Structure 1
Amino acid sequence: MSQAVKSPKRDAVFPADRHALYDLHQYSAAIRSGDMLFVSGQVGSRADGSPEPVFADQVRRAFANLKAVLAAAGLSFDDVVDVTSFHTDPEKQFETMLAIRAEEIGEAPYPTWTAVGVTWLAGFDFEIKAIARIPE
């Protein structure tokens, strides 16, 4: 006879100045599970959920949104162990993204990173998601 396994309640994390997309698309900014923080994809959205029109500004805003979520959990980019980024036109965008990324991620050793080319990001051109380890 099998027993149903209850899953623990999700421990959601949101930044203080959360943008409109969380409610509009019904997702949490991050979920804390044990000593890990799973951060949803962050885009270059303004507070009202609209995208920054200039690609470089969109990437900077996406990193700022990611940092705000990490900070809400008491973490920084130094705690990030894995990153996935999504790009609507990697060939044209990658050089700009790499320059901004170099400013944002700090010193080596770097987190793992997977970049994925996609055809659609709901009006955005760049998205970044991360997994962080919560220090003891």
Structure 2
Amino acid sequence: MSARNVVFPAGRQALYERNRYSPAIRSNGFLFVSGQVGSRPDGSPEPDLEAQVRLAFDNLNAILSAAGCTFDDVVDVTVFIVDPESKFETIWKVVAGYWGEAPHPTLTGIGVTWLYGFQFEIKVIAKLPDEPAAG
């Protein structure tokens, strides 16, 4: 197996090393991003739900940027929501500000009972921009 081509956002490598996972892996023209939550720099959850969702997107966008992508390059999204029946509308208000214009990526939403103290998590796959031809 070849070495994994890991993408680290600025200033958060220690958090990923402590928790023993990669924030994102480049492979075959795609970027596979680990689930991102609304964690503060020390890894603790942001307590306010709307702020937590914004921070999750900020954390996601930092990884996408480190790989040379934006949310416009995202082709597939999976969201995990604790108690979606009571939180979906609040979360989706915030999501709309990050989602961009149509056409939108595919989406899978999963209701869960626990996210390590968080209420929202977003995991994506993005198409890496084509690299310019050597010349």
User: TM-score interval w.r.t. the shorter chain?
Assistant: over 0.9
Which of the residues 59, 75, 82 maps onto 2:76?
A: 82
In 2: Cα distance, 1:126 partner to 1:22 partner: 18
* Offset, 1:20: 5.1
> Paired residue for 2:95?
101
> Paired residue for 1:31?
25
> Paired residue for 1:131?
125
Aligned amino acid, residue 63 of structure 2: V
Structure 1 runs, 4 residues or longer, greater than 2 Å off: none
In 1: Cα distance, 2:14 partner to 2:53 partner: 18
Structure 1 SS opposite 2:39 = coil
1:95-114 superposed Cα distances (whole Å, 9 cap, x missing partner): 01111111001000000011
In 1: Cα distance, 2:119 partner to 2:17 partner: 21
1:52-100 superposed Cα distances (whole Å, 9 cap, x missing partner): 0111111000010000000000100000000000011101110011111
Which of the residues 11, 21, 43 maps onto 1:49?
A: 43
In 2: Cα distance, 1:128 partner to 1:102 partner: 14
CA contact (8 A) 1:19 1:48 kept: no
In 2: Cα distance, 1:37 partner to 1:19 partner: 17
In 2: Cα distance, 1:24 partner to 1:123 partner: 17
Which stretches in structure 2 are left out of the alignment for 5+ residues? 131-135
Structure 2 SS opposite 1:129 = strand
Which stretches in structure 1 are left out of the alignment for 5+ residues? 1-6
Task: State the number of aligned residues.
Answer: 130
Identity of paired residues, percent? 62
Q: Normalised by the size of structure 2, how large is the TM-score? A: 0.93
CA contact (8 A) 1:19 1:46 kept: no
> Paired residue for 1:4?
none
Aligned amino acid, residue 82 of structure 1: D
